[in-house]
Amino acid sequence: MMVGIHYSLPEEYLAMDIDEYANELLTKLFAQAHAQFGNAIKLHWFYGSDFCPGCGQPIDAIKVKGENALSLNAYIYRKRHVLIGYFLCSRCATKVFAASKKHPTQQSPLHAVIEKNLVAAYKQHLASLDA
């Protein structure tokens, strides 16, 4: 299951570490998702790559009402009860947004690619904790 939000970046955050900012947002998103889905979600983790999990290109800003924004999205990996937050590049964010508007209940092929990459990265993260 995917949850998508576009956050515009306020000036004061531009000076902040972007991962720190993302984590802060993810914590809020986690609280919301937890209220909605309960114990389906127990953890959250941020996919802190500079590259888009949809296409592998560098993350770039999207324009929302003329302002720069980053597309923060979250995926609920139910098997592990984890909410995985991630950024999308502007191209994939636009595609995902268009697809979910057209077919709200259907998963697009791009979603499948993103989920596969997120799950692989999360497993790698878990493996690195064990090492």
DSSP state for residue 9 in the 8-state scheme:
-
Report how far residue 63's alpha carbon sits from residue 65's, in angstroms, rounded to the nearest whole number: 6
Q: Please, what is the minimum distance in Å from the beta carbon of residue 73 to Zn ion? A: 11
Quick one: which of 76, 82, 83, 92 contacts Zn ion (CB under 5 A)?
92
Print the binding letters for residues 9-48 with Zn ion: x by CB under 5 A, - otherwise: ----------------------------------------
Segment near Zn ion (CB under 5 A); pick from 26-34, 36-44, 92-100, 106-114: 92-100
Interactions with Zn ion, residue window 52-71 (CB under 5 A): 52, 54-55
Q: Please, what is the minimum distance in Å from the beta carbon of residue 110 to Zn ion? A: 8
Toward Zn ion, which CB reaches closer, 40 or 69? 69
Sort residue 12 into left (φ over 0), alpha (ψ -120 to 50) or beta. alpha
* Rounded to 5°, angle at Cα 114 from 86 and 7: 30
Residue 21: phi, psi to the nearest 5?
-60, -45
Contacts with Zn ion by CB under 5 A lie at: 52, 54-55, 89, 92
